[in-house]
Amino acid sequence: MTDLRTAREGALLEGMRRGEQEAAAALYDMYSPMLLALALRICGQQPDAEEVVLDTFMQAWRDAHRYDASRATVAGWLTTIARSRALDLVRARVRRQHATDAAQLRQVDEPMITSTPLADSVLEHAEEGAAVRRAMAQLSDKQRCVIEMAFYEGLTHAEIATRLMEPLGTIKTRIRLGMMRLRDTLGPLALGGQS
């Protein structure tokens, strides 16, 4: 049974080397549940784990020609890629949290503003801005990066894909998943304050 599975994996990987999307899809179906469980265990968050699995298969697609059966099974190779991606994501999250904590410690207390209609409006916008910053901090690094490029730099999806040297579909998926997560996190604020 193991020999049949190994032969099938080898054939699918060879298909990926030739650019056959069906072979990549079959490997994805075969290994994505296992890799998702591994990534979820390392990352602790479903959206991050899903992104790790997507990135793993994108790297496998790009690097299929580098796979060496004498060094690892297909499962072992994919697991190594997924583990590396997940650890990178966790390290980036920790660095981001340290930077956020350090920035908060450096902030100086501002004097209280007298409550006027203008001051209330400024305070409301400041609170909304803080809520958006907190929600953005919960996104994966890659989701936050593409959303910032789209909204703060005004880049199109195609321009982002070109700059990051990533497939357009991947960029669109990251933006869509990130925006869905922001909408869920921000609730009524994401809809312009409407309930």
Sketch the domain layout of the chain as residue ranges: 1-94, 120-195
Burial (Cβ within 10 Å: 0-12, 13-18, ≥19) of residue 154: exposed
Please choose, from the candidates 180, 178, 183, 181, the residue with its C-alpha nearest in 3D space to the C-alpha of residue 194: 183
Amino acid 131 reads A
Q: Indicate the DSSP class of residue 110.
A: P
pLDDT (tens digit, 9 = 90+) per residue, 120-152? 554 555 566 677 778 888 888 898 888 888 776
Q: 103 Cβ partners below 8 Å, 6+ apart? A: none
pLDDT (tens digit, 9 = 90+) per residue, 86-98? 888 888 888 877 7
Q: Into which CATH architecture does domain 120-195 fall?
A: Orthogonal Bundle (1.10)
What does the pLDDT read at residue 109?
Answer: 46
CB 181 within 8 A of CB 144: no
Amino acid 158 reads A
Q: What is the CATH number of domain 1-94?
A: 1.10.1740.10
